[in-house]
Amino acid sequence: MNVEIIFKIAAVGILVAVVNQVLLKAGREELAMMTTLTGLVIVLLMVINLISQLFQSVKSIFRLY
Amino acid sequence: MFVKILNSFVIVIASTLLGRELANKYVNRVNELSALQVALSRLETEIEHYASRLPEAMIRIGNSIGGTAGKLFYIAGQSLTEKSSTLSEVWNTSLDLMKPEWSLRQEDSKILRRFGDQLGNSDREGQIRFIRLTLAQLHDEEVKARAAREKYDKMYRSLGLLGGIALAIILL
């Protein structure tokens, strides 16, 4: 479990917030919403492996299979 | 590690410059519209007070006002002295020649085309009247272009920088 990914997620989060504000101020609300969603998707892609491992561990610990 | 930092730097700089390029379109449109208005009012002065011939007046104006607007007048004046096709044809050809170079939009070229079509077809007073009409139309467009610039210039610049940072973080 490397710590780098936490920093990456935090940085993407801050950037998405800033871009959101910039776009809202320029009047492009729909573009702002799209960038928020894009940021969300990017972060999800970054952690999807970890999430899959998490579910595997949960399944094996509780023997749910 | 050092290579990583260098790469992210390059990505950020490239993206910032790209954002600036996109923002310049709006800035250039305002400047060109303003230069066109200056050129047209000088043309009006030349026609009204000096009664100079059109080709020389255009070349003079083109030389004194630099940039794309000046170039348009210069090319039109040159082609008028070289060939002797009609004024509107020369004007339209010069407009088409300048198309890849400037940042004016379709509405502005339409105004200019209409101006060119009328230019050779009326007497002095008619021309002066039509120049004034074109000046008023260009002024309206310039006001609109300034508003658009206010909105989009900063946005594209910041988007360029922030997008570059985002790319650098995601990729590296």
A-chain CB neighbours of B166 within 8 Å are 12, 15, 19
Residue located via tokens 């997008």: B163
pLDDT single digits (tens) B72-112? 888 877 877 777 677 777 778 888 887 787 878 888 888 88
B76 within 8 A of B92, measured Cβ to Cβ = no
Smallest CA–CA distance, residue B163 to chain A, in Å, is 8
Q: Is A45 helix (H, G, I), strand (E, B) or coil?
A: helix
Neighbours of B84 (CB within 10 A): 8
Instruction: Choose among B160, B45, B32: nearest CA to B103.
Output: B32
Q: Does B154 touch chain A (CB under 8 A)?
A: yes
The answer to whether B17 and B160 are in contact (CB under 8 A) is yes
Q: Does the beta carbon of B136 lie under 8 angstroms from any beta carbon of chain A?
A: no
Kindly report the pTM of this predicted structure. Answer: 0.72
How many CA atoms lie less than 13 Å away from B81 in the CB half-sphere?
Answer: 13
Using the structure block, give the residue that is written with the tokens 């170039």: B71
Verify whether the Cβ–Cβ distance B162 to A22 is below 8 Å: yes
Torsion sign across C-alpha atoms A15, B170, B152, B158 = positive
B170, B171, B172: best to mutate for the A interface, most A CBs within 10 A = B170
Query: Among B112, B59, B50, which residue's Cα sits nearest to residue B81?
Result: B59
Structure confidence at residue A20 as a pLDDT band (50, 70, 90)? very high
Query: Which residue from A8, A18, A25 is facing B162, i.e. has the nearest CB?
Result: A18
Alpha-carbon distance of B155 to B172, in angstroms, equals 25
Between CA B117 and CA A3 the distance in angstroms is 69
CA closest to A23 among chain B residues: B155
pLDDT of B50 strictly over 80 = no
Whether this model's ipTM surpasses 0.90 comes out as: no
Q: Which one of A5, A9, A19 makes the best mutation probe of the B interface by having the most chain B beta carbons within 10 Å? A: A19
Q: Do B166 and A12 touch (CB under 8 A)?
A: yes
Chain A interface, best mutation among B8, B154, B155, by max A CB count within 10 A: B155
Q: In this predicted structure, what is the pLDDT of residue A30? A: 93
pLDDT given for residue B84 in this prediction: 67
Which of these ranges, A50-59, B114-123, B153-162, has the smallest mean pLDDT?
B114-123
Question: Do the beta carbons of residue A26 and residue B154 sit within 8 Å?
Answer: yes
Domain residue limits at B32: 2-171
In angstroms, the separation between the Cα of residue B162 and the nearest Cα of chain A is 7
d(CA B147, CA B61): 28
| Cβ neighbourhood burial of A23 (10 Å; 0-12, 13-18, 19+) | buried
